[in-house]
Structure 1
Amino acid sequence: MNKTWIARTGLALGAGLALAASIAAPAQAADIEAQLTDAGGNLVAEIIHHDDGDVFSVHDWHPDGHGVRGSLYLVEDGEWIKLRSIYNGLGAGEFKTFQWNVLTGEEYVMEICTVDGANDPEANDCSFQEVTE
């Protein structure tokens, strides 16, 4: 057998296996975040959707005396339906998490807001980001 033929066959077989593996593996979307900044451009709070496990983390980054609330909404016919909300009043540099199974083909929006306590109905400032699977 010709060594060149053997090498080409090995390369073709390896490429075919790599292609089959990439087709069989599910697509993994990148993490998505909504960030809230102050007037000076400093990061105050953020909510991150970690696609691996569909975990949402709600971060408070700024020692300003405000807690933060992260929420997830399903959007149907232009209406936002709140699915989950979590308050993080642990202080700057801390985060809390929640899990929600984000389904392919559905439209979601995540929101991060500063609030004055867990039961504050009116947010001070908010930022939004669409979430897709």
Structure 2
Amino acid sequence: MLKKLAARLAITCAVAVGLIAGTGSAAFAADTWLILSDIDGRQVGAMQHVDDGDSFRVYDSLKDGYSVEGCLQAYAPRVGWTTVKCKNNDSGAGTYESFGFDVITGVPYRMRLCHALVPCAYQGFNE
């Protein structure tokens, strides 16, 4: 009885891990978005990873006199999250600044988007 229960639990865990791993696979390669909103729900900025060409766009969405900073971060097991490249959009509301970075398959990445009046937001993705 105990062996059957342990086997069922192991199968259930394996299926769950497979589903989680499958949803983040490269087969679903597409653009990734990160939206940053203030406490009232107004969008103050956005960041986009354009998968075709590995470019990143940092959008300033709100005319408030503050810039938006978007960063690309990579994860290394013994180091943790490190910032690879950043772009500050101080061009004004309704504009975007861009930068390129060759994203490597198998490395966990995340985008970080910050604004002076709003806490930073993060969005992970894999190539």
- TM-score band, normalised by shorter chain: 0.7 to 0.9
Structure 2 Cα separation of the partners of residues 81 and 38 of structure 1: 26
Question: Whose radius of gyration is greater, 1 or 2?
Answer: 1
Structure 2 Cα separation of the partners of residues 98 and 52 of structure 1: 13
Is the 2:37–2:118 Cα contact (8 Å) retained in structure 1?
A: no
Structure 2 Cα separation of the partners of residues 101 and 28 of structure 1: 18
What secondary structure sits across from 2:59 in the alignment?
strand
1:60 alignment partner in structure 2: 60
Normalising by the residue count of structure 2, what TM-score does the alignment of the two structures yield?
0.74
How far 1:103 sits from its partner (Å)? 1.1
Is the 1:28–1:51 Cα contact (8 Å) retained in structure 2?
A: no
What secondary structure sits across from 1:92 in the alignment?
coil
What amino acid sits opposite 1:101 in the alignment? Answer: D
Which 5+ residue runs of structure 2 have no aligned equivalent?
1-25
Note the aligned Cα RMSD (angstroms): 1.8
2:109 alignment partner in structure 1: 108
Which 5+ residue runs of structure 1 have no aligned equivalent?
1-25, 116-122
Q: Deviations over 1:7-57 (max 9, x none)?
A: xxxxxxxxxxxxxxxxxxx95711101110011211110110000000000
Within a 5 Å distance, the mapping from 1:1-133 to structure 2 comes to: 29-77=29-77, 79-115=80-116, 124-133=118-127
Is the 2:32–2:125 Cα contact (8 Å) retained in structure 1?
A: yes
Is the 1:37–1:44 Cα contact (8 Å) retained in structure 2?
A: yes
1:5 alignment partner in structure 2: none
What secondary structure sits across from 1:41 in the alignment?
coil
2:14 alignment partner in structure 1: none
Regions of 4+ moved over 2 Å:
none
Is the 2:38–2:118 Cα contact (8 Å) retained in structure 1?
A: no
Structure 1 Cα separation of the partners of residues 67 and 87 of structure 2: 11
Structure 2 Cα separation of the partners of residues 27 and 130 of structure 1: 16
What secondary structure sits across from 1:102 in the alignment?
coil
Structure 2 Cα separation of the partners of residues 100 and 27 of structure 1: 20
Structure 2 Cα separation of the partners of residues 55 and 28 of structure 1: 17
Structure 1 Cα separation of the partners of residues 40 and 73 of structure 2: 29
